[in-house]
Structure 1
Amino acid sequence: MTDRPQQDWWSAAELAAAGLPDMPGSKRKVNEMAAREGWKARSGKVRRRKGVGGGMEYHWSLLPTRARLALIERREDMSEPKISRDEAWADYESATATARKKAGERLAVLAEVEEIEAAGMVRSLAVTTVATRSGASEKSIWNWFARVEGVAHADRLAYLVDRRSLRKKAVPVAPSAEFCELVKSDFLRLSGPSLTSCYDRAVRIAEKDGLPVPPIHQVRNWIKATISEPVLIYHRKGVEALRRFYPHQTRDKSAMVPLECVQGDYHKFDVFVRWPGEKDPVRVQMVVFSDVYSGKILAWRLDISANSHTVQLALGDLIERYGVPQHALLDNGREFAAKAITGGTPTRFRFKIVDEDIPGLLPLLGVKVIWATPYSGQSKPIERAFRDLCDRIAKHPAFEGAYTGNRPDAKPENYGSRAIPLEDFRAVVAEEIEAHNARPARRSEVAFGRSFNDVFNEAYSRAPISQATEEQRRLWLLRVEGLRADSKNGELKLHGSRYWAEWMYRIAGQKIAARFDQDDLHAGLHVYDLAGGYLGHAPCMEAAPFLSVEDARTHARKRNAFIRATKELAKAERQLDHHEIAARLRAAGKPVGDELPKADVVRLVPAHPKAPKPARRRDTTDQIEAAARLEAQITRLSERRAAPAEDDPRVRFERALTLEAMLAEGQPMTAEQRSWLAEYQQSAEYRGFARLRRAFGQEE
């Protein structure tokens, strides 16, 4: 036992936690004791604590006697191992199997010694006894006890490993450093030259520069020892090869449900197909959407090229039949990143987004888009289905002679001898996809020997599925803008087909937008205004055979029904006939004209010297004579007609004056009286008598 503990300086917290005799058990009490006994006044016994937190540290000699003795007694128990616990176990893992076995045997020897010592025998005698039994020397046993001094029993095994077994092989020294660097720099190139060629080129340089040339096997061993495999792959094969070198990620689908995520991609068939409107045979492309959980192919469409229109229609087929998915795992190609499909989605199209993007089909339906890693088949499980379809569709016996081969250098001998009609090709594709979904003995983590159909159907009945509304169903149809309706009846024409409904007279001559299915033009058009408002559906008017009597009769029945319906609507719209309107117009009386106000200031305009002279103005005498002649003419006409008293012009005029007086006084009048007065006031007879009355006044 030594006369001093292993640790000389103690903080207040450490003294409180040590549990020493005659010492307080809290940091605050220790500080109060130091202040009470004046520890800070003892020169060289108090110092500022270094490190985070600061504070004061006290020398162990300041402690009470019993506390100092306790620290000295604990010296051996408080000794720390030379290496940390983590380092010891790391060394144990890197040791050989033989070294780990020997460490276990040493641990058993120490346990036996401690067991005998616990029975009452002193340790020295116990060590001698166990050494005789085990064959180990007493000195070795004492060394093993020294290794595990202060170590927890659970960690003793790691400290008992023979350290000599941990010696790592030294990196071989380059036989000629400059020569080896020449070979290595030439060898680490993307063109991938052989080591022999790099060595030969380095020999030529070394002979010129006078460098020592070691044998090639020494250079090869040096390169293997100094260059890691990932670095070698990066320099000689590139970043993509290094990415493939990293282990792939295994993704679990067991916790998913149907339509939680769908995946879509394009596949180009290695088959020549006769496409309508194309002069030469083409290789058809198919867009496919499948369920990630079950692997079932849910929807597909064929087209001559990869485009967003086909993607949009295939998505519509999927949603129409099964429901709206929650997520969509899409390829990063332009056909999927088009604004019509994913506009407004973050990381869309080269991982950018702009505020002006029109919301696409998937964002409008609330589907979250997930972009697959470019050029990474592991990111798209649907690639496994494509490999299956390549074998079962492209090499189908019905397509013999039309198969093109999957590489330019793998063309079959009968290459180009056939081209399959599109409808025949479509029928085989539909048949094989159904067989693909129904094939049993699938080995995925959710199939357990069942088919994709069985997996999907079982979980689909229990999954929360969102169905699309009628308005949402029109979102995935193709959109064409700028169609102008016929100026007469609003008829529309698109791709050689005619579309019309009875309501379309309202859009005659206007520009509209329409949504349609390019594979089913006879299903009609959904018509929108240019602002996006839905107007209605326009059915297709199919052309009839020229000599078809039945089609002519059907068309006539539709036209007659339209005419009858229009007549009934017209009759309901008109509540008054023309006789009633004329009577009410006569009863309304003469319209009151605007009277020009009298000018208070009159400016005289002098006559031009060459202006024609105004006619002589007739005086009052001339007016009287003209009125007398008019009255005499009216009298002769009335006498010649020999009209009854009620047809006398004077009588009629007097009657009109009477009715006018009644109307002015507000006296009641019949509808016939009002009508007669309004009509008589428009006659020349009334106007003539009225002029006489204004000129000469009322007769007595």
Structure 2
Amino acid sequence: MAKAFRPNKEWWTPKELAEANLPGLPTSERRILERAKRFAWRTHARLARRRTGKGGGWEYHWTLLPEVAQARLLAQARKPAAAPATEPVDRTEAWAFYEQQTEKHREVARMRLEAIQMVETLAPHVGKDHAVREVARLRKCSYRAIWTWLALVEGIRLDDRLAYLIPRYSRAGNRGTKASFSQDFWEFLKSDYLRPSGPNFRACYRRALRVAEAEGWETAGERTMRRHLERDVSELTMILHREGSEALKRRFPSQTRDRLSLEAMEAVNADYHRFDVFVRWPLDDGSGGFEIVRPQMVAFQDIYSGRILSWRIDRTPNKVGVSLALGDMIERFGIPERIVLDNGREFANKFLTGGVPTRFRFKVKDDDIPGVLVQLGINVHWATPYSGQSKPIERAFRDLCEDIAKDPRFEGAYTGNRPDAKPENYGSRAIALEEFIRIVSEGIEEHNARGGRRGQTTMGRSILETFEESYRRAPIRKATAEQRRLWLMGAEGVNAHAKTGLIKFMGNEYWSAWMHEIAGQKVVARFDPADLRAGLQLYRLDGTFLGQAACKLAAGFFDLEEARAHKSAQRRWMKAEKEAAEAARRFDAAKLGEFLDGAAPPDGAPTEPLEAKVVSLPRARPLEAPRVQPAPMSHEERAAREAFVADFNARKAERQRPTEDEDDPRFFFRRALEMEARQEAGEPLTRDQERWLSSYQQTPEYRAQKRIHEDLGSGFEGGGSGAAG
């Protein structure tokens, strides 16, 4: 920005004006004095003054001269012998500087422009000098200031004048000497302040002074160093060092997503919410007792309208509640195209999202069971961890915290939303589970039906009206009867027994007659979590439905009726299998023999018996040696023979002793006891023995045998066949 114009000579004597030969002025000193007297130059207190120095007299300011003389002086002032100290400011830079100034400075620039416009309006009628004086009187400002403003905009475009008239105050003369300090002192103070613990600046400054005194560093005042810190270290740098990356991330504006491009049930999102209410949750042991919990609710929400579509309540987040809530939503409204899920284990599990390539927690394996969402063709999106902005349902949960948790019917059971915000009557009451579910259901319905919503898609309507208006025209995929089995039952990869096909799952046994087809195979078992005795729906790993496996209830150890029923079922099954086997074989062995007898001999087989062409001579039999009667044994020889026979029989009996049955559970338990005894005695085991013993000790069989052994004592070890004496 160019500085205000200052002529090389502001004050002129009559002699100097005569010698300057300026246009509009006489060239003699006498005539100059006459002109000054005629126009009363000396009456202007600030533009005429007595000359100090030798000779005395009067001198006059250059602004009293005629306009043509002023123009000549200005032109001469713009042609200095040396290069100008500063270059004229470009209009782009001038406007950039204008934008950086405060509104107070902009108001000053507008006032200056108005004064210049008034001067330019009056100048053609009364002269520029008189116009400047009149405007200065009206605006109550300095006469010379207006001439300075005129100089600032001389040669400037009319539309750019405002940018050149804004004040450019120089503070260099008011600051004095800049404070100096050691760089090491500054670095120590800055490093101490920029720590995650967030220390106070004054404490950091005191520590820096203490170190500076020991190290001999040059210091400066606390206020000076604070200003230096605020000027040289950005606020974002301070936030990153003192508060962390998450605090810095919050300074970045959140993304605004356009919901108008969606339709109802095109995209949904789900999450868990813990209510700030104490609830009496019944125990599962049948004792009639209860425990005090804060229930958790999983809810599915339509992203377009914000409607809560389905929800389930449980003690803790789990995949069973998620699957049931998902089934409720699909049963009533249909299958969505996309779903946004949290990265918790209740959502990121193989039952729901098995086979999704971009899941947050797990890798995709070749034998992964396809999850429910994958088989339904729903595109899964994972929300950013610890980012509530990526899940719109968080906004609905905030309303539920205010409207439901603080319901008057929950007074005394409300816990507060923070540990330091507990109400005075905290813990004085707990709500029954049935009443809690009823009030939550009522609150969710009110949340959906409340009018006057100001959302992007609601536009003053209720969430329910917005959803229904779009749902009527949206293409919705409905679920078939076969698909309903996917979400109403869980899925686990289980192995069928290698011989019978029996499946043991969650403490129950499941088997049907057709399951010999899957013996030794790994299958997918889907079940109703609320009724495990209803049986299993079995699928192949590729999703092909196999059939239903009935639940075999465990019978009492001495339950005769159950034993008879089991035996009867076994006989019926054996009979059915025998009939099926006989039906598969049409001809018995005798019939097969008849067919073979009546068949023609094989090609090339001889029809007549062959005669031998070579006859061998009979071999002579060797002569038998005459039998010799054995000599009678002595008493010692007979005793030795009897001892040999007895020893031989003992060895034979030892070899024929029945071996231990490896199918007997006690066989492995005795082996484990022997290895444990060897370990206690300090004898080393091989690596295979240690690995077998460690894995066997984790089995239920070992724990059961261990309890029996502790109850019955050492006599238990010798029971059964093949037991050591």
Q: Map of 1:404-553 to 2, 5 A cutoff?
A: 406=417, 425-476=436-487, 477-482=489-494, 484=496, 512-519=523-530, 521=532, 525-536=536-547
Structure 2 alignment gaps of length 5 or more:
1-86, 137-141, 555-568, 623-725
- Tell me if the contact between 2:354 and 2:364 (Cα under 8 Å) persists in the aligned partners: no
**Aligned-partner SS, 1:535:** strand
User: Among 161, 164, 171, which residue is 2:166 paired with?
Assistant: 161
Q: What does residue 645 of structure 1 align with?
A: none
Provide the identity percentage: 46
Q: What does residue 336 of structure 1 align with?
A: 347
Q: What does residue 671 of structure 2 align with?
A: none
User: Among 365, 390, 393, which residue is 1:382 paired with?
Assistant: 393
- Tell me if the contact between 2:343 and 2:382 (Cα under 8 Å) persists in the aligned partners: yes
- Tell me if the contact between 1:339 and 1:360 (Cα under 8 Å) persists in the aligned partners: yes
Sort the Cα spacing of 1:404 and 1:501 in 2 relative to 1 into closer, same or farther, 3 A: farther
- Tell me if the contact between 1:343 and 1:357 (Cα under 8 Å) persists in the aligned partners: no
Matched, 1:239 2:251: no
Letter in 2 for 1:228: S
Counterpart-to-counterpart distance in 2, 1:583 and 1:240: 86
**Aligned-partner SS, 1:348:** coil
Stretch of structure 1 that moved more, 163-172 or 439-448? 163-172
Deviations 1:140-159 (A, max 9, x none): 679757757475x5444334
Shift of 1:315: 2.6
Q: How many aligned residue pairs are there?
A: 504
Letter in 2 for 1:326: E
User: Among 592, 595, 598, which residue is 1:590 paired with?
Assistant: 598
Deviations 1:249-270 (A, max 9, x none): 4444344322232111122345
**Aligned-partner SS, 1:374:** coil
Sort the Cα spacing of 1:188 and 1:416 in 2 relative to 1 into closer, same or farther, 3 A: same
Sort the Cα spacing of 1:293 and 1:603 in 2 relative to 1 into closer, same or farther, 3 A: farther
Counterpart-to-counterpart distance in 1, 2:107 and 2:181: 41
Sort the Cα spacing of 1:219 and 1:409 in 2 relative to 1 into closer, same or farther, 3 A: same
Counterpart-to-counterpart distance in 2, 1:603 and 1:116: 159
**Aligned-partner SS, 1:375:** coil
- Tell me if the contact between 2:260 and 2:304 (Cα under 8 Å) persists in the aligned partners: yes
Sort the Cα spacing of 1:396 and 1:295 in 2 relative to 1 into closer, same or farther, 3 A: same
Shift of 1:248: 3.7
Stretch of structure 1 that moved more, 438-447 or 101-110? 101-110
Q: What does residue 282 of structure 2 align with?
A: 274
User: Among 373, 389, 392, which residue is 2:384 paired with?
Assistant: 373
Sort the Cα spacing of 1:170 and 1:116 in 2 relative to 1 into closer, same or farther, 3 A: same
User: Among 166, 181, 184, which residue is 1:176 paired with?
Assistant: 181
- Tell me if the contact between 2:259 and 2:457 (Cα under 8 Å) persists in the aligned partners: yes
**Aligned-partner SS, 1:263:** strand
User: Among 238, 248, 271, which residue is 1:265 paired with?
Assistant: 271
User: Among 307, 318, 323, which residue is 2:334 paired with?
Assistant: 323
Deviations 1:570-627 (A, max 9, x none): 9xx99xx99xxx999999993445484377997877766559xxxxxxxxxxxxxxxx
Letter in 1 for 2:331: E
Deviations 1:631-686 (A, max 9, x none): xxxxxxxxxxxxxxxxxxxxxxxxxxxxxxxxxxxxxxxxxxxxxxxxxxxxxxxx
Counterpart-to-counterpart distance in 2, 1:205 and 1:86: 48
Letter in 2 for 1:331: D
Q: What does residue 191 of structure 2 align with?
A: 185
Counterpart-to-counterpart distance in 1, 2:109 and 2:424: 69
Matched, 1:294 2:302: no
Stretch of structure 1 that moved more, 496-505 or 83-92? 496-505
Shift of 1:453: 2.1
Shift of 1:297: 1.4
Deviations 1:8-65 (A, max 9, x none): xxxxxxxxxxxxxxxxxxxxxxxxxxxxxxxxxxxxxxxxxxxxxxxxxxxxxxxxxx
Shift of 1:522: 7.1
Sort the Cα spacing of 1:140 and 1:413 in 2 relative to 1 into closer, same or farther, 3 A: closer
Sort the Cα spacing of 1:372 and 1:606 in 2 relative to 1 into closer, same or farther, 3 A: farther
Shift of 1:216: 3.7
Deviations 1:359-413 (A, max 9, x none): 5443444433333222222332322333343455556677677666655666778
Shift of 1:240: 1.7
**Aligned-partner SS, 1:265:** strand
Q: What does residue 92 of structure 1 align with?
A: 98
Counterpart-to-counterpart distance in 1, 2:236 and 2:173: 21
Sort the Cα spacing of 1:110 and 1:310 in 2 relative to 1 into closer, same or farther, 3 A: same
Q: Map of 1:618-697 to 2, 5 A cutoff?
A: none
Considering only aligned residues, what root-mean-square deviation do their CA atoms show, in Å? 5.6
- Tell me if the contact between 1:274 and 1:280 (Cα under 8 Å) persists in the aligned partners: yes
User: Among 233, 246, 268, which residue is 1:227 paired with?
Assistant: 233
Counterpart-to-counterpart distance in 2, 1:167 and 1:342: 68
Shift of 1:416: 7.2
Letter in 1 for 2:325: A
Shift of 1:519: 3.3
Counterpart-to-counterpart distance in 1, 2:591 and 2:202: 118
| TM-score where L is the length of structure 1 | 0.56
Shift of 1:346: 5.2
Sort the Cα spacing of 1:84 and 1:517 in 2 relative to 1 into closer, same or farther, 3 A: farther
Sort the Cα spacing of 1:349 and 1:139 in 2 relative to 1 into closer, same or farther, 3 A: closer
Letter in 2 for 1:95: Q
Counterpart-to-counterpart distance in 2, 1:356 and 1:318: 30
**Aligned-partner SS, 2:360:** helix
Shift of 1:330: 2.0
Matched, 1:256 2:262: yes
Shift of 1:357: 8.2
Sort the Cα spacing of 1:391 and 1:128 in 2 relative to 1 into closer, same or farther, 3 A: closer
Q: What does residue 61 of structure 2 align with?
A: none
Sort the Cα spacing of 1:251 and 1:481 in 2 relative to 1 into closer, same or farther, 3 A: closer
Sort the Cα spacing of 1:115 and 1:416 in 2 relative to 1 into closer, same or farther, 3 A: closer
Q: What does residue 200 of structure 2 align with?
A: 194
- Tell me if the contact between 2:510 and 2:549 (Cα under 8 Å) persists in the aligned partners: yes
Shift of 1:225: 3.9
- Tell me if the contact between 2:119 and 2:135 (Cα under 8 Å) persists in the aligned partners: no
Deviations 1:138-187 (A, max 9, x none): 99679757757475x54443344344489999899445345454433322
Sort the Cα spacing of 1:145 and 1:414 in 2 relative to 1 into closer, same or farther, 3 A: closer
**Aligned-partner SS, 1:256:** coil
Counterpart-to-counterpart distance in 2, 1:338 and 1:168: 71
Q: What does residue 673 of structure 1 align with?
A: none
